Homo-oligomer: A and B are copies of this chain.
Amino acid sequence: MDHQLLIARLNEKGLKVTPQRIAVLNAVYQLGGHPTAERIIEVVRRNNPNIATGTVYKILESFVGIELLRRVKTDKDIMRYDAILEKHHHLYCADSENIEDYFDQELDKIIEDYFKKKEIPDFHIEEIKLQIIGRFSSGS
């Protein structure tokens, strides 16, 4: 996401554009994948040594609030953040903490069609995410 879009998005939601917020978002994009708060803080501090831990958490939460980022969960206990690009699923390694994105529009379509025909009682679906658990065959 370029700065124009970011600024627009922040303004739209009534959040001010600050150097700290830009730094946090840059760090998330730079890290890619699904970084932990710890990694993000580490990277942000490279250019911004005085930023407080709490500030980064607050900023990350505000980004989750305006849907610039999403929380991602492992089966373990640490929160990770995911810069939203488009609808995607996650491959979880059964052995390690590794998480990879998985895009599959064909599958999305199949599932979408399935739930057009078959409703879940008393439940309105907004989104379906697959957790695909398994093992990476090459070094991961």
Contacts and interface: CB of A to CB of B under 8 A. Distances in A.
Interface of A: 71, 73-75, 77, 79, 91, 94, 100, 102, 104, 106-107, 110-111, 114, 118, 120, 122-138, 140
Contacts of A127: 132-134
Given A107-B114, A128-B131, A134-B125, A102 B73 contact: no
Contacts of A134: 123-127
30 contacts: A71-B75, A73-B75, A77-B79, A91-B120, A94-B126, A102-B120, A107-B118, A110-B110, A110-B114, A111-B111, A120-B132, A122-B136, A122-B137, A123-B132, A123-B134, A123-B136, A123-B137, A124-B134, A124-B135, A124-B136, A124-B137, A125-B132, A125-B134, A126-B135, A127-B132, A128-B130, A128-B131, A128-B133, A129-B131, A131-B131
Contacts of A106: 118
Name which of A79, A131, A133, A140 has the most chain B CB atoms within 10 A of its CB: A131
Contact of A122 (B94, B133, B138): B138
Given A102-B120, A124-B137, 15 more contacts: A71-B75, A73-B73, A73-B74, A91-B123, A94-B126, A107-B114, A122-B137, A123-B136, A123-B137, A124-B134, A125-B132, A125-B133, A125-B134, A128-B130, A130-B130
